[in-house]
Amino acid sequence: ATPTSIMVGTGRAAELGVLFRKGDALQALDGCEVVAFDKTGTLTEGKPALVRSEAAPGREAAEVLRLAASAEQGSEHPIARALEQAAEGVLSQPVDSAAIAGHGLRATVEDHALLVGAKRLMDREGIALGALETAHDEIASAGQTPVLVAVDGEIAGVFAVADRVKPGARAAIDALHARGVKVAMITGDTTATAQAIAAELGIDHVEAEVLPEGKLAAVKTLRERFGAVAFVGDGINDAPALAEAEVGIGIGTGTDVAIESADVVLVSGAVSGVVEAVHVSGAVLRNIR
């Protein structure tokens, strides 16, 4: 592409809220075979809410929720906010609370040992789901995130948190398909949850239960399978994947680290910006060819 056509293209994109931070990103994007999206905060709003509560036999869901929300008080995870908002009664300050990346957290609350997180956290700790297994699987198949709670080494409850898919996400994915681009999703969430959301959005390929440090490896896997990768993400955990991808696309409403690691920034956070970026890139390159 000539410097002039790149200038015109990036200028047109900027008017649509799509900022090309590097001129070569415009050319690289046209060569991308697959667009991979982070799930939480990128395809979904990133503000999950509690939609279902189930207690283990002999437990009370409201009390389990109060303990779990207390345990989450120091956490930055969106799930922590969902539990805190839904909990009733007085929350206690957690002691020794520690995040377990990609799994959940542990803390002591009112002298009880709390574990809050995904099934793989319970698997790791050797805690069986017992009577809650069915509810857990139903929640995940519905595309909601199951949040399991263990108290003193025994399963006590499962809660469903649901995050809305962003308006325009489905249309953007359809538009990418129409251009012959494959679409993938990379997430730390449970496989069944991720697959339900992928089916709703028409996503071709899912990499689920990816640990925070595994997103970069997931980009490499996609490259081997499909070719050049554009990765779209918003979070701190997304920075290495944004840097690894042929084109890193950061969400303007996301974290500073993600934006700094990106080649392209979508100012409004709308998923449709990805389609505009791909469109401008193709138009500029075809003009000069």
Chain positions contacting Mg ion, by CB under 5 A: 38, 40-41, 234-235
Q: Which stretch binds ligand ADP (CB under 6 A): 56-64, 110-118, 164-172, 239-247?
A: 110-118
Per the structure block, which two tokens stand in for 52?
A: 């279902």
- Active-site residue, from 24, 30, 38, 152: 38
Mention every residue, 6+ apart, whose C-beta is less than 8 A from residue 145. 48, 79, 118, 139, 160, 161, 162, 163, 189, 190, 193
Amino acid at 265: V
Interatomic CA distance for residues 184 and 207, integer angstroms: 8
Interatomic CA distance for residues 34 and 209, integer angstroms: 20
Residue 75 interacts, among ligand ADP, Mg ion, none and using kind-specific CB cut-offs from 5 to 8 Å, with ligand ADP
Q: Does 188 bind ligand ADP (CB under 6 A)?
A: yes
* Residue 25 Cβ vs ligand ADP, minimum distance, rounded to whole Å: 25
Q: Does 80 bind ligand ADP (CB under 6 A)?
A: yes
Interatomic CA distance for residues 282 and 81, integer angstroms: 41
Angle between the N-to-C axes of helices 272-288 and 23-30, in degrees from 0 to 180, rounded to the nearest 10: 90
Residue 234 interacts, among ligand ADP, Mg ion, none and using kind-specific CB cut-offs from 5 to 8 Å, with Mg ion
Q: Which stretch binds ligand ADP (CB under 6 A): 89-97, 98-106, 250-258, 276-284?
A: 98-106
Buried b / exposed e over 189-202, threshold 16 CB at 10 Å, is: bbebbbbbbbeebe
- Which position among 116, 156, 197, 278 is part of the footprint of ligand ADP (CB under 6 A)? 116
Binding mask 11-50 for ligand ADP (x = CB under 6 A): ----------------------------xx----------
Q: Does 212 bind ligand ADP (CB under 6 A)?
A: yes
- Which position among 42, 44, 75, 272 is part of the footprint of ligand ADP (CB under 6 A)? 75
Query: Nearest 10 degrees: CA dihedral of 117, 120, 125, 129?
Result: 80
* Residue 121 Cβ vs ligand ADP, minimum distance, rounded to whole Å: 7
Tell me whether residue 38 is one of the annotated catalytic residues. yes
No. of helices (H) and no. of strands (E), the chain: 12, 13
Q: Does 124 bind ligand ADP (CB under 6 A)?
A: no
Interatomic CA distance for residues 277 and 289, integer angstroms: 19
Closest CA to 17 of 233, 192, 250: 250
Q: Which stretch binds ligand ADP (CB under 6 A): 22-30, 100-108, 216-224, 271-279?
A: 100-108
Give CA separation, 149 vs 2, 109, 120, in Å: 58, 12, 12
* Residue 186 Cβ vs Mg ion, minimum distance, rounded to whole Å: 10
Interatomic CA distance for residues 269 and 166, integer angstroms: 10
Distance of CA 100 to the CA centre of its chain: 17
Q: Which stretch binds ligand ADP (CB under 6 A): 111-119, 127-135, 251-259, 279-287?
A: 111-119
Give yes or no for a contact between 244 and 225, defined as CB atoms under 8 angstroms apart: no
Q: Does 114 bind ligand ADP (CB under 6 A)?
A: no
Residue 207 interacts, among ligand ADP, Mg ion, none and using kind-specific CB cut-offs from 5 to 8 Å, with none
Q: Does 189 bind ligand ADP (CB under 6 A)?
A: yes
Q: Does 147 bind ligand ADP (CB under 6 A)?
A: yes
Point out which residues bind ligand ADP (CB under 6 A): 39-40, 72, 75, 77, 79-80, 102-105, 116-118, 145, 147, 187-189, 212
Catalytic residue set: 38
